[in-house]
Structure 1
Amino acid sequence: MSLTNSKINRIIRLVITGWTLLLALPLHAQTISGRVFDEETGEPLPFVNIVYNSRQEGTVSNIDGYFTVPSAKAAYLRVSYMGYRTQYLDKQHLLQKPLIIRLLPAEIQLQAVNVFPGKNPAETIMEKVLRNRKQNDPDDLNGYRYTAYNRFWITTEPTKKTLFPTDTTAIRLLQRSKKQHLFLIETVSRKNAEKPNREHEEILQSRVSGIQNPSFMLLATQLQSFSVYRNQFQLLNQEFLSPLSRNAIRNYLFLLRDTLYSPEGDSLFVISFQPRKNRNFNGMTGTLHINSNGYAVETFLSRPAHLEKGTPEINIRQKYNRLPDGHWFPLELDTELKFHLNELPGAKSSDSTLNKVQLVGKSRTYLMQREANPVFTAKDFPKNAVTFSGDKQPLPANLQQFRESHTSPLDAETYRVIDSLGRASHLEQKLQTFKSVINGKVPLGPIDWDWKRLVSYNRYEGLKLGLGLETNSGLSRYFSIGGYGTYGFQDKKIRHGEWLNLFPSGYRDLRLQFSYQDENMEIGGNDFLEKRDLFQPEFFRDLLIRHMYATRRYSAKFLFRPLQTLKIQLTGDASDNRFSVIGADSVQKYKLSRVGIQLRFAPGEKTYKAPDGIYTFKPAASEWFLNAYRGVPWLDGQHSYTKLELKGRMKFMLTPSGATHLTIKAGDVTGDVPYPELFNGNGSYTSNFALLAPYSFATMRMNEFISNQYAAVFIRQSLGKLFMHSNTGFHPEILLVQNAGVGKLDDKYRNAYQPSAVDFRKGYLESGLELDNLLPTGLLSYGLGVYYRYGPYALPNSSDNWAFKIGLFLNFQKQ
């Protein structure tokens, strides 16, 4: 009986297996799969139009060039792509396994058409797309979550220059790139997002060729622009007006290139875009696939319409599809950066190798387990927007299988070679040193040397030489001890400071500090909760300071960060101070004790909590600073007063041509106020021709005015860059400048300190014009500015109302 049952079971298994194979064969034969490549570079082509019959039914290749069409409906293939020659494949070619299609590039010029005999059909479609922006934009969902696999790699590619056998270095670089990448990062992360501004991405696993420090892993997950519907694309300090911005039809020319019909019966409109003639803005050119189901973007492919010399070429590709609930959501994201080596800082443009090889960085993200409008809890959103879990457990089988399907032999060779080189050359230690140097410190074992204190200058102390040292995490991540000393060659004084920092959590955003300073401070100046270094535009005004007071100050400060957008510092200090009233020779002394609070609020700022520190990866569009101090009679303090200070700076787009930068400053002090705690006018005029100091009054003399209440606004409006359509590499930027302020000095302070003191209660006005980005030289660029003073405080001699300035900017400086 058991034998009979065994035979029956075997027969059943054979029957099931046989039928399964028979059913699977026609199912497999129902589709034709292929892949599209660039004939010259061998790179897969994303979002290629594939039409497979006379009814214009078709599809689009994915971000890796793969496509699938139904074999029953496929009579032929028409394969077309902007910038490439269209290729036709008959039915016989469709039987090839694997089906590989290689397209040849073709030089094309987009039609410069601005007027149509009737309504431009592409504009009619785009009007519907713009009307549906809100319902199709994933950023407008109440929330979403997804898991992402990201790859970021660096390689080399040939330029359009002809390679000769004598170009041995270029040939070797290109041959090496066929065997391995120069650098590779892989990450798997899980992201949650919820309106209005809550998001958290957890890096589950990551691998970096040559290094282990998780802080560098952030680069791979944050390079992408998530939504195509944003008004601006921002990447590597470049901003582009999106072809899906609110006023896109006014600024962009759209042309209907083709219409396909999907298997679901939807129309797929292929629309090209480029900036309209005589429009002066940073624009893009490329192709959109618009799905008639909701008039949503299905694919987006773009590059800069005009490429400035010295800036990388940026190619952005995105693919969307519909979730089961009907929402359109990103599926694949791709960003490519091409750096022309001969245009990088320090490169020689005549070097034949650099002319014929370009460095290419590629970031590709695949989104899985996507969900719209999920239910979240507070635990889903920790304080920092990105965290590293350090999870060493294996990935789920589906994620691991997906990763393996997207890797290549180049990846394994990259890890083998670069990991070995990294260990041999101590690459990670060198990168840590570079990171410290950017932050102003040079690590010398367990001690950091503060190179920013080596040389400094102001008009009161003259040239200053100094030395600053502080222990680093090599000694302990829970405390640091530091100090500095400087010598001013004009005032011939040695100044110094010492401090002890305690970090209870091991991170720098929670700090208790005890310090002593013997230092000179600006009379009427301010000290907000921000760094004052050469990366800030206000740095240049610090070079012009000429009125200072001496202070010896003991301080205790407690800094904490309750939100990633908010820093709070509680402070208390006691000081002995000496000052001279401007225009007087006598020296006055006083003791001061203060308690206070300092705030920094940066809405939209995002931070990454890595094992070795907290990093800001998304800067805020605006920053707000508030100081509140109270003079108290403790520790022999002689003055009782209240002081409030405010500063805000923001950046926004009023016109497509350029950004608007706005800075607001205000202050109020009441009570028994010592003279140095009053406010100066924030002027920066030292002579008719001097250094440009943004966000100060260019025509106002230093300490020309004094007040106990003031408010000022500084506006810089970019009108765009000149000669954007030329290839000269000369693209100066025009800015209009408007500054205005008002300040009042109460009589009791004027009588107590300086009867001749003048305020500006009637309103101070000046306007100016700047030409920036003149003579750009790698990290530096130069500018010129001319300003005119008018209104109630215009000077009698009209020539004295003019100021001419020379600007010097770091190209990555915060504007």
Structure 2
Amino acid sequence: MKKHSAIFFLFIGLFFFGQSKITVLKTGERTPITNASIFCKGKLLGKTNTEGTLTFKTKCEKVEVKAPGFYEDDAVVDKMMEISLSKTDPKLQSIEGVIISDKSDPRALRILQKVNDHFKNNSPQSLESYSFKSYEKISFDFDEDSIKQYNQYLNHRLDSLKTVPAAMQSAEKKKDSLEKLNVMKLMAGSKLFLWERASEFLYSKKYGEKINILDNRVAGLKQPVYEMLALRSNRNKIPKEIQEENRTLYRYFLTDSIEIEGRKNYVIRFRQADYKNPVQKRKFNGYIYVDAETYGLKKIESNSRKKSEGSITSIWKPIDNKWFLLKENFKIKMGSTVFDVNKTDKKKNGDSEEKLKKQFGNYVFVRADYFDFKTSVDENKKDFSGYSMSVKNTGGDILEKYRTDSLTIREKMTYSKIDSVGKKYNLDQKMNVFTGFLKGKIRVGNVDFDALQLLKYNQYEGFRLGAGIKMNEKFNKYISPDAYIAYGFKDSSWKYGAGIDIKTTLDKTSFFRGEYYNDVDAAGRFNENLWNFKMKINNSGVDLNNDRFYHFEGFKVSYENDLSNSLTLRVSAKRDHEEAKFDYSYNNLGNRFENVATQLTLKYSPNSKSMMTPSGKLTYEQNYPEFYFNYEQGIKTLGGDFGFSRFDFLVQHSFKTKIGVTGVRLYTGLSIGNAPIWHQYAINGLGNGENSLNFNLTSYLGFATMEGGKYYNDKFVGYYLTHRIPYYFSTFGKKISSFDMVYRGITGDMKNPEIHQFDFQKLDHFYQEIGLEANNFLGSPFNLGFFYRVGYYATPTFKENFAIQLKLNFLGF
């Protein structure tokens, strides 16, 4: 044991007192700085030689670097380090006062503004066509020094365990102990996660962008995580560090210029705006290289406030006077792995348990290389057909053809070891559960559970508990039956339904569906056909204060087809028995009717990007504008009681200007002919209608200050406008907050309101409310909005016009 302890302390000594080498250079010039002083917690470790280097030993995790005539900086201790210091020579003295007074250099801001102004023209997408390939590698692991330290710790731990008498343990505890030890051994020899992908990017102004995943492989998984395939970068985006709306989060300083490959570049250093004291204000988070001729981005490096927490570097290359992304490297800390030293070690050295905890930083590493650039390609329509992204291969067999660097021994071991772990613990299924939840599904084996059916609330049913299941592609690739059941505690009744989808192809969305249902819904609901999960969640609280519901029972057949990447068609026919569940009579004919109708639904989303997966279409990038159209036709000749026509239309768009981001939602509805109130349109109020404070949850098409279930029309037009003020600021934690101004309005009419015999009002003047929404309120994931009713429907009482609204931030505008 003494021998093992001696080896252990020798390893610790080698780790803590191992040599480190630092090279200190002048920013921009890349020439060495002589006599730069290196400090550890104020203690001088040495000075650099004529080559700008110093070799030293230290226990410190970070050292300070100082040199006369340069701004000081710090560096995370590593075996090999390189740092660049910015000059404080007379040419730059003019910005010294600016730095201390916490203001950006106006010259730097002017250059960054030109970067933004010229970004579209500098983008490769200003070309007629292009193509290139990429190789990306994402891993989750310790950093290099932690790997060495971890292996030393593990070896010592294993040696110590050999001398410990076998304790009496239950079978379960013994199993847990062995599993923990196996995981520790696994982490010593391989990365915790590894994913590689090779892609081909095609672009044509005529046909748009097409991404082909040439090959990819994820350690531990048989199938790729398709949501991961859609991970994006700075490839076609302005980095967040220089976006106009983020200027208040950083301070920028023009510190140098440098010639790179025969082109002059401005060097701009930046730091976070929340650095408070003068010493911090001389430290920088990163730098930006800007091409002086075109104002294209050449390079950006951004570090966390603590450099040990991560860094991001992106490098661009000019090709035909357009700036293509050439390389990206990320290193981001994602928590730590902590182990306790065993009791034997505690007895030997007498240290406390807290001191003997071993902590190892976990990092996500991302490397991306782009190559094989061509700025003029044959624009064959067939090459751009189908969805925006297609997956050619998922086996990893041809990755070697595209790798820009070979796999390390540790990476090779990751595939062999993690693959065996994935098989043992069924990681595919666990990952499918997580990714399915992002789409509103909880996946368990062959079954997908519908998250939207779990819990609902409205004034008629009260709390509604339910369960919905659908057999997924593991059951059958072409046939998918489903069913649901739910119970409302306030109306004390069951609701249920069942259906089946039959696909006609696996290449795109194309299927026939038949279904039976026995359920209730709010009268006059706006159609949510082809809405995505996030939109439906956003609108799920629209009936919190509405009890005007009707019952419907019947069956429907339909067909859905993606006519293109942008256009989806659904046609259906149904026969229902319908009955009002509130005090209502239509034109003295009662409250129970037969309805036979057909419906046409179209969704057009020209800028959204999708891909086909085994579980169906995945829209990995929802871009605006989007258009939704529904046309329903009642048919009397087939046994229906009514021959009405019902149209509704929704368009939503979001666009960015120099004054911020604006979101627009316009929607309208028209019902023609004779039909009961549930085939008209409810004007969605979220308020409680009581003489108390209005506090409600957001909805997609609702009004915070309007009483629920009060207004109905047979025609209307509404709008929702939101504008994000381009001022961002740090709040609690790492959250960034901002404010949105909101303006909602709606108006319409009803031709013969007297035939609908119940207590309601038509809305035939403009109903308007204005609001201010605080995003990420107090660092939380919620937005808090304050709304006030103005115009025709405003009352003299403040409380009746005022409402507070809560919204989950991820739901968007």
TM-score per shorter chain, which class?
0.7 to 0.9
Alignment pair present for 1:367 and 2:370: yes
Letter in 2 for 1:381: F
Structure-2 separation of matches of 1:725 and 1:277 = 8
Pairwise mapping of residues 242-641 of structure 1 onto structure 2 (< 5 A)? 243=242, 254-262=252-260, 265-273=262-270, 286-302=286-302, 315-323=311-319, 325-340=320-335, 357-390=360-393, 395=398, 400=400, 403=403, 405-443=405-443, 445-450=445-450, 452-506=452-506, 509-529=509-529, 530-531=531-532, 536-579=537-580, 587-641=590-644
Task: Give the alignment partner of residue 102 of structure 1, picking from 65, 75, 81.
Answer: 81
Tell me what 2:191 maps to.
Answer: 181
Alignment pair present for 1:760 and 2:757: no
- Is the contact between residue 188 and residue 203 of structure 1 (CA under 8 Å) also seen in structure 2? yes
Pairwise mapping of residues 104-119 of structure 1 onto structure 2 (< 5 A)? 113=98
| TM-score, normalised via structure 1 length | 0.74
- Is the contact between residue 503 and residue 510 of structure 2 (CA under 8 Å) also seen in structure 1? yes
Structure 1 residue 624 displacement after superposition: 2.4
User: Quick one: structure 1 residues 548 and 353, their matched pair in 2 at CA, closer, same or farther if it must change by over 3 Å?
Assistant: farther
- Is the contact between residue 28 and residue 257 of structure 2 (CA under 8 Å) also seen in structure 1? no
Tell me what 1:666 maps to.
Answer: 668
Structure-1 separation of matches of 2:703 and 2:666 = 13
Structure-2 separation of matches of 1:401 and 1:731 = 42
Structure-1 separation of matches of 2:19 and 2:686 = 55
Structure-2 separation of matches of 1:501 and 1:332 = 44
- Is the contact between residue 369 and residue 404 of structure 2 (CA under 8 Å) also seen in structure 1? no
User: Quick one: structure 1 residues 339 and 551, their matched pair in 2 at CA, closer, same or farther if it must change by over 3 Å?
Assistant: same
Structure-2 separation of matches of 1:51 and 1:455 = 63
Structure-2 separation of matches of 1:145 and 1:700 = 53
Per-residue CA distance 1:374-423 (angstroms, 9 max, x = gap): 2211011121122111287964xxx8476273432221121122112112
- Is the contact between residue 52 and residue 78 of structure 1 (CA under 8 Å) also seen in structure 2? no
| TM-score, normalised via structure 2 length | 0.74
Letter in 1 for 2:721: I
Aligned residues: 702
Per-residue CA distance 1:296-343 (angstroms, 9 max, x = gap): 322122357899xxxx977442212233x444322112344433469x
Q: SS at 1:412's partner residue?
A: helix
User: Quick one: structure 1 residues 221 and 718, their matched pair in 2 at CA, closer, same or farther if it must change by over 3 Å?
Assistant: closer
Per-residue CA distance 1:247-269 (angstroms, 9 max, x = gap): 9989975423223334x543233
User: Quick one: structure 1 residues 359 and 765, their matched pair in 2 at CA, closer, same or farther if it must change by over 3 Å?
Assistant: same
Tell me what 1:137 maps to.
Answer: 123
Structure 1 residue 153 displacement after superposition: 1.0
Task: Give the alignment partner of residue 744 of structure 2, picking from 736, 739, 748.
Answer: 739
Structure-1 separation of matches of 2:265 and 2:565 = 42
- Is the contact between residue 158 and residue 174 of structure 1 (CA under 8 Å) also seen in structure 2? no
Q: SS at 1:545's partner residue?
A: coil
Tell me what 1:711 maps to.
Answer: 717
Structure 1 residue 648 displacement after superposition: 2.7
Per-residue CA distance 1:15-55 (angstroms, 9 max, x = gap): xxxxxxxxxxxxxxxxxxxxxxxx9999999x99674679x
Structure-2 separation of matches of 1:317 and 1:43 = 22
Structure 1 residue 560 displacement after superposition: 0.8
Per-residue CA distance 1:427-448 (angstroms, 9 max, x = gap): 1122223334444444555444
Structure-2 separation of matches of 1:648 and 1:534 = 13
Alignment pair present for 1:699 and 2:705: yes
Structural RMSD (CA): 4.7
Structure 1 residue 566 displacement after superposition: 2.2
- Is the contact between residue 678 and residue 706 of structure 1 (CA under 8 Å) also seen in structure 2? yes
Structure-2 separation of matches of 1:255 and 1:405 = 36
Pairwise mapping of residues 61-140 of structure 1 onto structure 2 (< 5 A)? 85=65, 102-103=81-82, 113=98, 122=108, 125-126=111-112, 129=115, 132-140=118-126
Alignment pair present for 1:204 and 2:206: no
Structure-2 separation of matches of 1:222 and 1:149 = 13
Structure-2 separation of matches of 1:754 and 1:44 = 85
- Is the contact between residue 317 and residue 335 of structure 1 (CA under 8 Å) also seen in structure 2? yes
Structure 1 residue 291 displacement after superposition: 3.3
Structure 1 residue 564 displacement after superposition: 2.0
Q: SS at 2:473's partner residue?
A: coil
Letter in 1 for 2:574: D
Structure-2 separation of matches of 1:354 and 1:734 = 43
- Is the contact between residue 724 and residue 740 of structure 2 (CA under 8 Å) also seen in structure 1? yes
Per-residue CA distance 1:339-396 (angstroms, 9 max, x = gap): 3469xxxxxxx9999995544223221111101132211011121122111287964x
- Is the contact between residue 340 and residue 355 of structure 1 (CA under 8 Å) also seen in structure 2? no
Q: SS at 1:113's partner residue?
A: helix
User: Quick one: structure 1 residues 488 and 355, their matched pair in 2 at CA, closer, same or farther if it must change by over 3 Å?
Assistant: farther
Structure-2 separation of matches of 1:490 and 1:601 = 39
Tell me what 2:342 maps to.
Answer: none
Letter in 2 for 1:663: R
Alignment pair present for 1:677 and 2:679: yes
- Is the contact between residue 568 and residue 600 of structure 1 (CA under 8 Å) also seen in structure 2? yes
User: Quick one: structure 1 residues 387 and 375, their matched pair in 2 at CA, closer, same or farther if it must change by over 3 Å?
Assistant: same
Letter in 1 for 2:750: L
Letter in 1 for 2:222: Q
Letter in 1 for 2:221: I
Structure-2 separation of matches of 1:489 and 1:221 = 42
User: Quick one: structure 1 residues 108 and 559, their matched pair in 2 at CA, closer, same or farther if it must change by over 3 Å?
Assistant: farther
Tell me what 1:690 maps to.
Answer: 695
Alignment pair present for 1:222 and 2:231: yes
Q: SS at 1:370's partner residue?
A: strand
Tell me what 2:7 maps to.
Answer: none
Structure-2 separation of matches of 1:41 and 1:320 = 35
Structure-1 separation of matches of 2:18 and 2:559 = 61
**Which structure 2 residue ranges, 5 or more long, are not aligned?**
1-16, 33-48, 55-62, 69-78, 89-94, 158-180, 276-283, 338-352
Tell me what 1:151 maps to.
Answer: 137
Structure 1 residue 243 displacement after superposition: 1.8
User: Quick one: structure 1 residues 771 and 270, their matched pair in 2 at CA, closer, same or farther if it must change by over 3 Å?
Assistant: closer
**Which structure 1 residue ranges, 5 or more long, are not aligned?**
1-38, 55-74, 89-99, 234-239, 279-283, 343-349
Q: SS at 2:538's partner residue?
A: coil
Structure-2 separation of matches of 1:434 and 1:653 = 32
Structure-1 separation of matches of 2:665 and 2:675 = 26
- Is the contact between residue 716 and residue 737 of structure 1 (CA under 8 Å) also seen in structure 2? yes
- Is the contact between residue 144 and residue 194 of structure 1 (CA under 8 Å) also seen in structure 2? yes
User: Quick one: structure 1 residues 455 and 799, their matched pair in 2 at CA, closer, same or farther if it must change by over 3 Å?
Assistant: closer
Structure-1 separation of matches of 2:652 and 2:225 = 28
Q: SS at 2:793's partner residue?
A: coil
- Is the contact between residue 484 and residue 497 of structure 2 (CA under 8 Å) also seen in structure 1? yes
Structure-2 separation of matches of 1:608 and 1:681 = 36
Determine what percentage of the aligned residue pairs are the same residue.
Answer: 19
Structure 1 residue 736 displacement after superposition: 3.1
Letter in 2 for 1:627: N
Structure-2 separation of matches of 1:125 and 1:406 = 39
